[in-house]
Amino acid sequence: MYRQDGDPADLIERALVRIRREQQRQRLHRKESAAPTPANAAKYRALDALDAADGLSISQLAEAIGVDRPRASRIAAALIDDEFAARTHRDDDARVVVIHITEPGRTIVSRVRRTRLHNVEEALAEFTPEEAHTLASLLDRFITAWPR
């Protein structure tokens, strides 16, 4: 519950930690329950970036997910091995490899987004529509201002 007493930055930082811990707890629970988890966090970030683009070079993928090129190359190779992504070459320069998401990859992204949306809707259930819109607006501003 939000407390009016205290430094807002400190309260927000603690709230972000609570969100992250809950996400980790849920991920551990899924592993313990033997639910299929075809993508780890790094692979999912890559799939999400590929889903938002019409193919990415390894350099573009690395930048999109915040890793170096060798790590992005390994992640892309794993996704290709798992058939969640496919490798092609750029039409104007065959030396440039382009990674595209496949239908199985899109299925993973869609499933994760549905789960995340369900969790957000559940968390917002006690908010009024006005409060939910205010939170969405403020959160968007907060994320836009977040240091990169």
Q: How confident is the model at residue 77 (pLDDT cuts 50, 70, 90)?
A: very high
Q: Which two tokens stand for residue 119?
A: 């969790």
Mean pLDDT of 117-146: 93
Q: What is the radius of gyration, based on Cα positions, of the chain?
A: 19
pLDDT tens-digit series, residues 3-61: 567 888 988 888 889 888 887 777 655 554 444 444 588 899 999 999 999 899 999 99
Q: Which two tokens stand for residue 70?
A: 């060798």
Domain residue spans of the chain: 1-37, 38-145
Which stretches within the chain are classed as H helix? 8-32, 41-51, 58-65, 69-81, 103-124, 129-145
Fold designation for 38-145: Arc Repressor Mutant, subunit A (1.10.10)
Element (DSSP H or E) covering residue 44: helix 41-51
